[in-house]
């Protein structure tokens, strides 16, 4: 059973790319920064685990939607991989946002019809 304050794992998995592209669009960010921003902006609703975060970032990078670059960590120490949205990723984000808005709107129509029709 899932906790009501967190999305069902399948729901999160199905929208993880949209979530990550949305977070990365503002400015380049490294993995833990992406995870923290997801938690902060959603009051903890999106708790992105390392086991799903990094494979998704690698998949988005391989698809050409984001670009990863090694940079010095903000507080020094070892380098971190910082991810930035590419032009292709920006187009993909806009497409996925439109698709999600259409999906949500159509689902809302089903909920409001009350099963009658």
| Cβ 84 vs Cβ 24: under 8 Å | yes
Tell me, what's the pLDDT at 13? Answer: 67
Tell me, what's the pLDDT at 99? Answer: 93
Mean pLDDT, the chain, as a whole number?
87
pLDDT at 72 over 80: yes
Render pLDDT for 100-110 as a digit per residue (tens, 0 to 9): 999 989 989 88
Tell me, what's the pLDDT at 12? Answer: 61
Residue that wins the pLDDT comparison between 3 and 75: 75
* CA–CA separation, 35 and 99 (whole Å): 24
Distances (CA, A) of 70 to 1, 29, 45, 65, 74: 39, 11, 29, 17, 12
pLDDT at 74 over 80: no
Tell me, what's the pLDDT at 77? Answer: 80
Tell me, what's the pLDDT at 8? Answer: 56
* Residue-range domains of the chain with CATH: 9-112 (1.10.10.10)
């Amino acid at each position: 059973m899932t906790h009501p304050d967190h999305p069902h794992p399948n729901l999160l998995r199905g929208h993880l790319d949209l979530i990550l592209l949305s977070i990365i669009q503002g400015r380049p960010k490294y993995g833990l920064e992406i995870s923290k921003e997801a938690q902060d902006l959603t009051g903890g609703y999106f708790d992105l685990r390392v086991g799903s975060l990094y494979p998704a970032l690698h998949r988005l990078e391989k698809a050409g939607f984001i670009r990863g670059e090694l940079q010095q960590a903000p507080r020094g120490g070892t380098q971190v991989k910082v991810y930035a949205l590419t032009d292709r990723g920006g187009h993909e984000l806009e497409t996925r946002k439109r698709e999600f808005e259409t999906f949500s709107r159509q689902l809302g129509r089903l909920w409001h019809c009350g099963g009658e029709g």
